[in-house]
């Protein structure tokens, strides 16, 4: 009843409201999400899983808009495969580049580099601007304490 009164008072028909809502499209939907601080936990080395996880982050940005998302991806353990020259793929590298261009911050665990005897400069690809944190799990906890929502794709 109130909806009809508002429509009549403003002189806008219900059909016009539907047209306006449809024209607004995804921008209207992203406004519903508001600002988000999210930490993605990436520790799976399977390339299919890595592709899906990176795709999740790209879809997240598409839904809320890069201006509304503060996303950090903590990479540790077997997740380092996304950067390892022996296991990464052009598709994975393209997604990483796209995420970085939209403001996603990726970080790498130093414990992983040490345990797997990985040389940061020689063995990894796409990491020139990726910071190293001391340990993956404490990094996840630190970010959650700062208000980031934990996501494990």
Token pair in block for residue 78 = 């077997």
Under the banding of pLDDT at 50, 70 and 90, the label for residue 32 is confident
The pTM for the full model equals 0.80
Token pair in block for residue 67 = 């201006």
Task: Please work out, in degrees rounded to the nearest 5, the angle formed at the alpha carbon of residue 93 by the alpha carbons of 92 and 95.
Answer: 65
Residue 129 burial class via C-beta count within 10 angstroms: exposed 0-12, middle 13-18, buried 19 and up:
exposed
Mean pLDDT of 57-71: 96
**Half-sphere CA count of 62, side-chain side, radius 13 A:** 8
pLDDT for position 131: 96
pLDDT digits (tens, 9 = 90+) for 95-146: 999 999 999 999 999 999 999 999 999 999 999 899 999 999 999 999 999 9
pLDDT for position 30: 59
1 pLDDT exceeds 70?
A: no
Mean pLDDT of 41-48: 97
């Amino acid at each position: 009843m109130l909806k009809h009164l508002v429509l009549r008072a403003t002189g806008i028909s219900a059909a016009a409201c539907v047209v306006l809502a449809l024209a607004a499209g995804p921008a209207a939907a992203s406004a519903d999400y508001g600002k988000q601080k999210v930490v993605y936990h990436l520790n799976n080395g399977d390339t299919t899983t890595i592709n899906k996880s990176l795709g999740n982050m790209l879809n997240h940005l598409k839904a809320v808009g890069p201006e509304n998302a503060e996303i950090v991806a903590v990479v540790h353990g077997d997740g380092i495969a996304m950067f390892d020259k022996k296991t990464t793929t052009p598709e994975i590298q393209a997604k990483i580049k796209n995420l970085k261009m939209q403001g996603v911050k990726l970080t790498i665990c130093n414990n992983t580099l040490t345990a797997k005897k990985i040389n940061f400069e020689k063995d990894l690809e796409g990491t020139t601007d990726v910071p190293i944190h001391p340990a993956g799990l404490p990094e996840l906890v630190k970010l959650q304490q700062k208000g980031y929502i934990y996501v494990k794709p």
